[in-house]
Structure 1
């Protein structure tokens, strides 16, 4: 769609992180408003973020009312591809819609290790003690 820009950072995004979707629309949102939704790339019937006005997902940038920064938490997203759809109407007619794909990957996990001392004072790695001298 002419004049509409969508950028997504980071892409790909881990399941337990926040993705920032920056949307620029030509009329600043205007009185007609713009609508955004997020759907599964393989099936638009799988809606992850309901169709709502841009203001429901983010606020216009100061000094740039046509640009919205929307932060979306990906904890409830399954891994896979998703589309950010932007439309001047809530109907999301493909003829009048802009889309951009992003990918959600598996969760990043912090791994911590600990050393414990057994009854004999020797360190036990990983919680296992084999009784070796």
Structure 2
């Protein structure tokens, strides 16, 4: 059984500050790791371009290989030397969903960094009954 803990950026920043303050071991590698994490929180990098389709496909295949719950055959069709689709319809459907979720995740992150609320949590327009 695994537990899931959700924290926001401010809480994570506080945890990293506490880890640095409590580091009395003098372990330079651990301190450098925590400092790098603090730096990445203070200056988040936004995706400037859409991910390459080959990169998304590689991540999907890695996830499939690591999965213990689902076994998808990863054979694919090439058309004119380029990936077109997976030969197995279940694998192809899973990939389409994975790719859509991946892109939605990037779009959601961009909106969060810009301070725009997610459309799922926006209030209904005035005069509209929920």
TM-score by length of 2: 0.21
Larger radius of gyration: 1
Higher helix share: 2
Q: Could you say which structure has the greater relative contact order, defined with CA pairs below 8 angstroms and 6 or more residues apart?
A: 1
> TM-score under structure 1 normalisation?
0.21
